[in-house]
Structure 1
Amino acid sequence: MQREIEATLHAVLADPQAAQEWASGQLVKPLNPLVGFTAATLSATARTAAPPPPTRSSRPASQDQQDSADSSVRSAKEQRRETERQRKVAQARQDAASAEQQARDREEERQRAESAQEQAKKQLQAAEARSAALAEEMKSAQEQTRQARSALDQARRGMSDAARKAREARSGAETARARATRIEEAK
C-alpha cells in the first residue's frame, strides 16, 4: 500500500493531469508514474521508503504520510502556479516591449507625416503666392491690352482723319493750282 501511495504521489508530481485527478479527491485506484520516469520514481522510492523518524505526535503514521503527500502536492501546485505566473509576467513584459516599440514606430511615422504636412503647406503657400502674382500680372496685361486697343482705335481714327484731311488738302492744293494756272493763262 505504501508503494501505491508513493507511485501515486510521484505521478502527481510528474503529470499535471494526474495532479488534477488526485486533487479532485475521488481516485478509485492508485496512479502510476509516467513511462520513463520510473527510474526517478524508484530512486525516490528508495530514498523515501525509510520510515519517518519517530515523533512525539499522537497522530498515526498514515496521517503523517497523508500530510506529507498533501504538502508535496500543494508544493507542486504552487510551483506550477509560480512557473505559470512567471511565464505570464515574461509574456506581459515581452508584449509591453513590443507595444512600446510599436508606439515609437507610430510616433516616428507621425513625425514624418507632420514634416510632410509642413512641407506641403509651404509648397501650397508658394504656389498660392505665385498664382496671386500671376493673376496680378494677368490683370495688368489685360489692362495693357485694353489700353493698347484703345490707343490703336484712336490711332486708326486719327489716321482716318489725317487721310481725310490730306485728301482735302490735296484737293484744295489742286484746286488752288488749277486756279493759279487759269489766272496765268488769263493774262
Structure 2
Amino acid sequence: MFLLQTMCPFSTNIHFDYDGHYSKDGDDYEWIPTDARLYDEWIPTDARLYAISFKTSSLEEITYSLLKERICRKMGIDPFTKRLNLGYIPLVVEPKRQSYILDNEDVFVYLTSVDREQRRSILHVEDIEELKIVQITEQLSRVGESSCSRNYCERESGYGEEDNVGTCLEHDEHPHKKQKKSRL
C-alpha cells in the first residue's frame, strides 16, 4: 500500500507599482509614481497597482529571477532589454527607508516582512534603462604580450628585472625547443 503525500500549495500575492522613483522627504523616503504611465485619466496615478500570484508550497520557491520574470511577463516587458530595480519601503522600519531586493534572500525577507495586521509593503519596480545589445566584432589579440608575468615592453626596457627570478620564454621561442633562455 502506498501513501500518496500531496503538498498543499498556497498563494502568495504581491502587489506592485511599476515605474517610479524614491524621493527623500525629511527623514523619510517615499515612492513617487511616474506620471507618464497614466492610461486612463479617471484613475489617479497613485491608485494604479498591479498584482501577481504565486502558487507554491513554500516561500523559498519564489526566487529573485522568478519574481523579475513574472513582473516582466505581467507588464509585457522583454527582460533582456530592460533593467529593473525592485524595492520597497518596509512597514516595520522608522524612519521610512527604501530597501532594494538584490537576491533570493532579499526576496524572502520582503515576503516575510509584515506588520501587526499581516500586511506587506507594496513592491516598487523602477524601470532604470533600456539595455542595448551590442555585437562585439573586434577580436582581442595577444600579440606583444608574454606568457610569463611581464609584457614584452617591460622585458625590453628592463623594468621589473630581478636576478634569480623564474624562466621566461622569448617571443619566437617554443617551450619544447632546446634554446631556452633561463634567468636561474
TM above 0.5, yes or no, is: no
Query: Which has a greater percent of strand?
Result: 2
- Give the structure, 1 or 2, with the largest relative contact order (CA under 8 Å, sep 6 or more): 2
* Normalised-by-shorter TM-score class: under 0.3
User: Larger Cα Rg: Structure 1 or Structure 2?
Assistant: 1
Structure 1 length normalisation: TM-score? 0.18
